[in-house]
Amino acid sequence: MNIILLGLNHQSAPVELREKIALDNCEPAQLYQEFRGLKCVDEGICFSTCNRVEVLLTTSAPAEEAVEEVKSFLAAQNGIPASEFEKLLYVYQAQEAVSHLFRVASSLDSMVVGEPQVLGQIKASYRDAVKNHASGVVLNKLLHKAFSVAKRVRTETGIASHAVSVSYAAVELARKIFGDLSAIKILLIGAGEMAELAAEHLLHQKASEIIVANRTLERALILAKRFNGQAVAFEEIPSLLVKVDIVVSSTGAPEMVVSAEMVRSVLKARKHRPLFFVDIAVPRDIDPEVNSLGNVYLYDIDDLKGVVEENLSARTHEAGRAKRIVEEETIKLMNWLETLDVSPTIIALTEKTEKIRSAELERTINKLDILSEDQIKALEVMTQSLVKKIIHDPIMFIKHFGHHDRKDDYLELTRRLFNLDQAEERSPDEEEPDQA
């Protein structure tokens, strides 16, 4: 059995080609019905996002045959010749395939390192594969392990703890100023896309109220409805500065929308409560002079980009630690794969039963301290014979089905029934599988 992963991503192929080979428009049931019909594929999962199209599979056939068959499958699904994309395909096998999957799930292979979306996309793809009976013992274990590796990377490193989008960086700064954002009132000036993203992030932090001011009231109403907020006229901005805590501005106005004098006039009424301006507009909407006023904080687009660049640098540093975790977990997974063979399973079963037998016999002998040497020897022989007879049928079962097409299923079942991987499962480094 071999594990193979092949695909294209943002590093290997341009977006024009990734669009042509994408599988996200395919209906999963139909896709997997055809995928499962491939003669070289034992188990398989298809991943398709804006930045990658990958196929992960196990095969008992020669790797070259399996790869050629999957290339033809991808070509047929998209109605393009394989020659159009095959030179840009990467193909990984065995340990390299496992390591690549772990890197992708942990967002180490993403365009923005540490972004969380890719893990959700992999989970969704895995659910489709399971629902359509394309995933089996090996890929189930591999994907669950990938989810736990991603969780471990996010828990033990700071790879996801630094904002790397302008909109989210604004929210991070707001949290530093206000701490808990649940009682915060927000004023959106303008209805640009980045302001919308910032508003979404703020609402995710349980901000209490959003007010939208836009030159076109109709657009303000639409946005306010989306955020369950309130739409107001542009002329109401000065009076609103008394009550709101955060102002996110992103208009296309050629002149300043909020002057320093406008802000200065409301400071007394605000009673020294902090006021945080996020100016995403170019040209800027907020007079830079407001930053000199007490308890007023202003960050413009350049300030936020500076924060993002610092955070990206921090994530890159953390990626080194994350890669070591991926390497460690890849070795563990490969060790498990080696157990999916007849001999290691029989040896593990024999060793475990012998360990139980000898421990129980010793405990019994210690309680019966009047036993003679001959009696002890007789007990030894009897318990050995008993154990051999108990495990005889399971061992015959393993040997018989060890050459069956579903060998991996039977070996995994045996290992679970007798809990032969007990030591590994109890390891503190082993996270519980994420049941996607």
Task: Using alpha carbons, select from 321, 10, 275, 299 the residue that is nearest to residue 161.
Answer: 321
Active-site entry in 26, 40, 46, 50 = 50
Signed CA dihedral, 400, 402, 404, 409: sign only: positive
Residue 40 annotated among the catalytic residues of the structure: no
Q: What angle do CA 394, 349, 342 make, to 5 degrees?
A: 70
DSSP type of residue 271: T
Task: Using alpha carbons, select from 390, 386, 402 the residue that is nearest to residue 345.
Answer: 402
Is residue 212 within a helix (H) or strand (E), and if so which, with residue range? Answer: strand 209-213
CA distances 361 to 43, 92, 373, 392, 422, Å, are: 45, 50, 14, 20, 22
Are the C-beta atoms of residues 210 and 229 closer than 8 Å to each other?
A: yes
Are the C-beta atoms of residues 81 and 17 closer than 8 Å to each other?
A: no
Are the C-beta atoms of residues 149 and 325 closer than 8 Å to each other?
A: yes
Cβ neighbourhood burial of 274 (10 Å; 0-12, 13-18, 19+): middle
Residue 103 carries which side chain, given as an amino acid letter?
R
Active site residues: 50
